[in-house]
Chain A
Amino acid sequence: MDRLIAGYRAFKARRWPEERAQYAQLAAKGQRPDTLVVACSDSRADPATIFDAAPGELFVVRNVAGIVPPFEPDAGYHGTSAALAFAVVQLGVKQVLVLGHAQCGGIAAALDDSLVAGVPFLGHWIALLDPVRGRSAHLADPAERHAAMERDCVGLSLANLMTFPFVAERVRDGRLALHGARFGIADGRLEILDRATGAFVTVD
């Protein structure tokens, strides 16, 4: 815990004095984030860091590979779906961003079964990516294939988002926008999905 405590003290010394009024206001009034980010748990792809976010700006769900599952209205414990519903229905966020990233271990696990052996639950979770598993199979270069699958998974999560009635309804009447992006860890570049062309375009 020492590293966390040291980091917390740095936060209290540096950011807290600048943002304390903002935190106090957020505590008194409640949060009103504009954006829900669904991102990977990976330690190298932190949304608050990449988007230089202030407190109160991003409602964040993080799971392995940054997956949005399809709408499954059973009585199961759906953590990501519950967070999505909370953000969209209760908080009224204006946009959902699905953020993938390079060198994603979850994607690697989807492409190589041996990586999920011995890790309980992971195989079941990653099976959500099955619909796009074969899409990049024609690519001979493993790195290219990996990156293509990362982009395909962002697209899949965006498609899955539209299976939630409360999302589809709000997208249709313009209250909610859906976006996809991918962060390149090695070069620090962000590429955004152009939904008209299906291509990921690097932000300059």
Chain B
Amino acid sequence: MDRLIRGYREFRKTRWPEERTNYARMAKRGQRPEYLLIACSDSRSDPATVFSANPGELFVVRNVAAVVPPYGDDTGFYGTRAAIAYAVLALNVRNVVVMGHAQCGGVAAAMDSKVAESIPFLREWVSLLKPAVESKIPKGHHGHGHGNTDAERAAVKLSIERLRGYPFIAEREKSGAVHVDGLRFDIANGILEVLDHDTGEFEPVERPGLFSRWFGSGRRAALAGDIRAAAE
């Protein structure tokens, strides 16, 4: 606990003085977050950090691989679905965002059953991603590769598709009361990709610079692949 207590003392010293009125107000009035963020439990992909979030801004669900289970029926202790329902129906969030990330162990486990074999509950949980990852599994090859990047993106898209199967989200998306979005955070280079709903592709947040205007995105991707291959 020592590290945590040290961190807490740092919070008390630096952030608390700046935010105390904000916290006090929110304690009295309740939380009013505009965002529901569904993210992975991974220690390298923290939403409050990546979005420089202030207290009160993000209602956050975190599970292995940022999975949204299908709406299904109303039985069982389904924590993620309860949190989604609470955020949309009780807190009236206006944005529901799914955030995946690079080097995701949950997606890797969904792609290679050997990874999850000895970990109770994990195989069942990541099997929820099967429809997204199945076509991305490279034949006769294991480990992190381009297949994983594609699968991580496909997993975000699957979660978004499933969110749209929640009647209260579909209804609110139609009326414009709720927006649903997808993101992927690349741990190694800090790049955040946003799902373009029109093309179904993930695009980096940064404006394309001179470099990409010269080469175009296809050439850029190919070049990035070449650089990566050279580095390996």
Which residue numbers of A lie inside 8 Å of B, CB to CB?
1, 3-5, 7-12, 14-16, 20, 23-24, 26-28, 30-31, 33-35, 41-44, 46, 48-53, 55-64, 67, 69, 73, 75-87, 89-90, 95, 97, 102-103, 105-106, 115, 118-122, 124-128, 164, 166, 177, 179, 185-186, 188, 190, 192, 203
Q: Which 8 A-B pairs have CB atoms at the shortest separation, nearest pair first?
A: A186-B27, A82-B125, A27-B188, A7-B51, A125-B82, A51-B7, A63-B79, A43-B33
Do A55 and B74 have beta carbons less than 8 Å apart? Answer: no
Provide the residues of chain A in CB contact with B155, threshold 8 Å: none
- A interface footprint on B28-64 (CB within 8 Å = 1, 0 otherwise): 1011011100000111101011111101111111111
Provide the residues of chain A in CB contact with B55, threshold 8 Å: 43-44, 46, 49
A75 to B81, CA, bound (A): 17
Select the residue from A11, A166, A188 with max chain B CB neighbours within 10 A.
A188
Q: Does B151 contact A (CB under 8 A)?
A: no
A104 to B114, CA, bound (A): 39
Do A77 and B188 have beta carbons less than 8 Å apart? Answer: no
A164 to B183, CA, bound (A): 33
Provide the residues of chain B in CB contact with A14, threshold 8 Å: 52
Q: Does B85 contact A (CB under 8 A)?
A: yes
Which residue numbers of B lie inside 8 Å of A, CB to CB?
1, 3-5, 7-12, 14-16, 20, 23-24, 26-28, 30-31, 33-35, 41-44, 46, 48-53, 55-64, 67, 69, 74-87, 89-90, 95, 97, 102-103, 105-106, 118-122, 124-126, 128, 168, 179, 181, 183, 187-190, 192, 194, 205
